[in-house]
């Protein structure tokens, strides 16, 4: 899975369109339960609103759960435009609720689509973001005379050495972005003429730049 951006905190903005108030709230949602709980919390907070329009993306393509609702607005004028903004943002694990207080002037279908889209765009612009990345923890055993070369190779492919154990041989535990690991594995095989191979022992998701100042390979 390639890195993608996720929210790190909630954000809220308010817009006025022809006397209607649009209050857009966005938050992290790493699970379906989190997304649903957030939507319900906003509905409870603005229980007197005319509409509370939700949309969320849990995960990131190709593995994503997407949902939206018009919450009583004309079909296709609210939830779908908000979801389209989310899907075009490059952000995953995110939930948004657009709260509307009707101001007495009807906006029409085109006006509603524009207003809900603008509210979603505005709150995403204020959302603090971090990068989420899938990583492998790997282990490899190597002779002492290859230690420095393998250390350089780990760094070269944006890896992070977590532990080194010294006995008859050296055992290295390291971590790589999943997208970089195949490149490291091939380079390790080339370096050792096919003798050395790293074994994947765990996979997890990390938030933020897990290696500071690592060399970027194109």
Q: Where are the domains of the chain?
A: 4-127, 131-207
Q: With pLDDT > 70 as the criterion, what percentage of the chain qualifies?
A: 93
Predicted confidence band at 117 (pLDDT cuts at 50, 70, 90)? very high
3-state DSSP of the chain: CCCEEEECCCEEEEEEECCEEEEEEEEECCCHHHHHHHHHHHHHHCCCCCEEEEEEEEEECCEEEEEECCCCCCCCCCHHHHHHHHHHHCECCEEEEEEEECCCCCCHHHHHHHHHHHHHHHHHHHCCEEEEEEEEEEEEEECHHHHHHHHHHHHHCCCEEEEEEECCCEEEEEEEECCCHHHHHHHHHHHCCCCCCCEEEEEEEEECCCCCCCCCCC
pLDDT of residue 63: 80
Upstream peptide bond of 93 is cis (omega within 30 degrees of 0): no
Q: Which has more confidence, 164 or 134?
A: 164
Name the CATH topology of 131-207: Alpha-Beta Plaits (3.30.70)
Average pLDDT for residues 109-118, to the nearest whole number? 96
pLDDT reported for residue 133: 83
**Backbone phi, psi, residue 174, to 5°:** -140, 170
Does 1 score more than 80 pLDDT?
A: no
CATH of domain 4-127: 3.30.230.30
> Quick one: pLDDT at residue 208?
63
């Amino acid at each position: 899975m390639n890195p993608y951006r996720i929210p790190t905190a909630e954000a809220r903005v308010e817009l006025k369109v022809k006397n209607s108030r649009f209050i857009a709230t966005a938050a992290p949602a790493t699970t379906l339960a989190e997304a649903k709980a957030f939507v319900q919390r906003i509905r409870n907070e603005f229980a007197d609103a005319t509409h509370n329009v939700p949309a969320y993306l849990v995960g990131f393509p190709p593995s994503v759960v997407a949902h939206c609702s018009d919450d009583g607005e004309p079909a296709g004028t609210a939830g779908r435009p908000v979801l389209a903004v989310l899907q075009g943002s490059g952000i995953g694990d995110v939930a948004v609720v657009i709260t509307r207080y009707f101001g007495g002037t009807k906006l029409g279908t085109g006006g509603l689509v524009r207003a809900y889209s603008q509210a979603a765009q505005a709150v995403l612009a204020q959302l603090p973001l971090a990068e989420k990345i899938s990583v492998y923890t790997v282990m490899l055993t190597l002779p002492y005379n290859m230690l420095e070369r393998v250390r350089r190779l780990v760094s070269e492919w944006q890896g992070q050495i977590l532990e080194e154990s010294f006995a008859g041989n050296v055992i290295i535990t390291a971590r790589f972005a999943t997208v970089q690991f195949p490149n490291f594995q091939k380079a390790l095989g080339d370096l050792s003429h096919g003798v050395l191979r790293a074994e994947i022992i765990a996979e997890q998701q990390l938030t933020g730049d897990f290696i500071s100042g690592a060399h970027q390979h194109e």
